[in-house]
């Protein structure tokens, strides 16, 4: 099978028939063998009924329904587990992404050798409140992930070599960082294609402004996992040692000042509990110890992680 199209959806009943017809037309015009995988993420509208009706007319349509709304990432992950096509395309169900882009995305994966091609909504039809923070967000994501050539990390329209989706696990809200996940899994040929974008025709957006707060927090988590995921002591040990060193110096200062004051009892009175160094040494010792303990616990956790010896082998004799 050439292409699997994975479509996560949450309350998109009005868009589905139009989207399906559009995909079918593009697939047939280009002679692709394909499957459409709808992942119904706990919709409360008629989406599931609409999908069942559509599936009666085309054996290429398959679907999974979650019992409740889990989120876009779990939906994508479920689609990735089911996908069988050589190239896997993800797209939003709201008709903002155009199926007409699929043949070119397919070509870039199969002929230009990309592992992943991400859409780039060069001209966006979204409110300013969304587009401006998005620019900032993408700039940060580029820096942190080291994938310099991507303008638009979170575009719903993406194409993958099948192998890539089988080797990454999308969870939580990590769909914003799939290129970063792919890079961490060892897939470096990540490209971009400017794609047409449309204003939402039916329904409303499912993500509010909290997307930016959560987006940044998730980026921090991914950065941490990438750098220290299997060696947490390298971070916490360093922080602990730093704290310990500062605390040690502060204790020395307190000791020296106390000795000097005791040697000159008539001219100089030094009170340990009135010195800032005393509190500094206390705080640093406690924090340093905590960092070390966090590091040790982190090491015990990674020891049990099934991921700890997961490498993508590029060649072998």
- Positions touching ligand UDP (CB under 6 A) are 8-10, 12, 41, 69, 71-72, 75, 92-94, 96, 156, 205-207
- CA distances from residue 102 to 158, 188, 194 in whole angstroms, order as listed: 9, 21, 12
With CB under 5 to 8 Å by kind, the binding choice for 12 among Mg ion, ligand UDP, none is ligand UDP
Closest CA to 5 of 156, 121, 113, 168: 156
DSSP 62-105: EEEE-SS---HHHHHHHHHHH--SSEEEE--SSS-B-GGGHHHH
Is residue 124 within 8 Å of 41, Cβ to Cβ?
A: no
At which residue do the structure tokens 């592992």 appear?
Answer: 115
Shortest Cβ distance from residue 242 to Mg ion (Å)? 45
* 35, 41, 94, 173: which one binds Mg ion (CB under 5 A): 94
With CB under 5 to 8 Å by kind, the binding choice for 8 among Mg ion, ligand UDP, none is ligand UDP
Shortest Cβ distance from residue 253 to ligand UDP (Å)? 55
Rounded to whole angstroms, how far apart are CA atoms 236 and 72?
Answer: 33
With CB under 5 to 8 Å by kind, the binding choice for 97 among Mg ion, ligand UDP, none is none
Rounded to whole angstroms, how far apart are CA atoms 86 and 104?
Answer: 15
Q: Which is nearer to Mg ion, 94 or 115 (CB)?
A: 94
Across-strand partners of 36? 5, 61
Q: Which is nearer to ligand UDP, 94 or 101 (CB)?
A: 94
Q: Which is nearer to ligand UDP, 52 or 163 (CB)?
A: 52
96 binds Mg ion (CB under 5 A): yes
Q: Which is nearer to ligand UDP, 102 or 243 (CB)?
A: 102
3-class DSSP assignment, residue 7: strand
With CB under 5 to 8 Å by kind, the binding choice for 72 among Mg ion, ligand UDP, none is ligand UDP
Shortest Cβ distance from residue 154 to ligand UDP (Å)? 7
With CB under 5 to 8 Å by kind, the binding choice for 251 among Mg ion, ligand UDP, none is none
> 117: buried, middle or exposed (CB in 10 Å: 19+, 13-18, 0-12)?
buried
Q: Which is nearer to ligand UDP, 94 or 115 (CB)?
A: 94
Q: Which is nearer to ligand UDP, 137 or 277 (CB)?
A: 137
Rounded to whole angstroms, how far apart are CA atoms 263 and 257?
Answer: 10
Contact residues for Mg ion, defined by CB under 5 A: 92, 94, 96
């Amino acid at each position: 099978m050439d292409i699997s199209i994975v479509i996560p959806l949450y309350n998109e009943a009005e868009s589905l028939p139009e989207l399906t017809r559009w995909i079918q037309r593009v697939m047939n015009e280009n002679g692709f063998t394909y499957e459409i995988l709808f992942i119904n993420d706990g919709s409360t509208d008629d989406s599931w009924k609409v999908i069942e009706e559509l599936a009666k007319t085309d054996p290429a349509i398959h679907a999974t329904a979650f019992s409740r709304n889990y989120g876009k990432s779990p939906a994508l992950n479920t689609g990735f587990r089911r996908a069988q096509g050589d190239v896997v395309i993800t797209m939003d169900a709201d008709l903002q992404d155009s199926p007409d882009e699929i043949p070119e995305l397919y070509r870039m994966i199969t002929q230009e050798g990309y592992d992943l091609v991400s859409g780039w909504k060069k001209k966006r039809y979204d409110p300013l409140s969304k587009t401006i923070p998005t620019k900032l967000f993408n700039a940060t994501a580029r820096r942190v992930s080291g994938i310099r050539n991507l303008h638009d990390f979170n575009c719903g329209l993406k194409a993958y070599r099948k192998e890539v989706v089988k080797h990454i696990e999308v969870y939580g809200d990590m769909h914003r960082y799939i290129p970063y996940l792919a890079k961490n899994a060892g897939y470096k040929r990540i490209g971009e294609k400017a794609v047409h974008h449309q204003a939402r025709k039916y329904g409303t957006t499912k993500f509010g402004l909290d997307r930016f707060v959560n987006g940044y927090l998730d980026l921090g988590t991914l950065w941490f996992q990438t750098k220290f995921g299997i060696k947490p002591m390298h971070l916490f040990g360093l922080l602990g040692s730093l704290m310990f060193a500062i605390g040690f110096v502060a204790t020395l200062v307190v000791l020296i000042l106390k000795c000097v004051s005791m040697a000159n009892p008539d001219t100089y009175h030094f009170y340990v509990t009135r010195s800032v160094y005393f509190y500094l040494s206390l705080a640093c010792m406690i924090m340093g110890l905590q960092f070390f303990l966090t590091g040790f616990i982190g090491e015990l956790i990674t020891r049990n992680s099934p991921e700890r010896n997961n490498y993508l082998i590029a060649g072998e004799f």
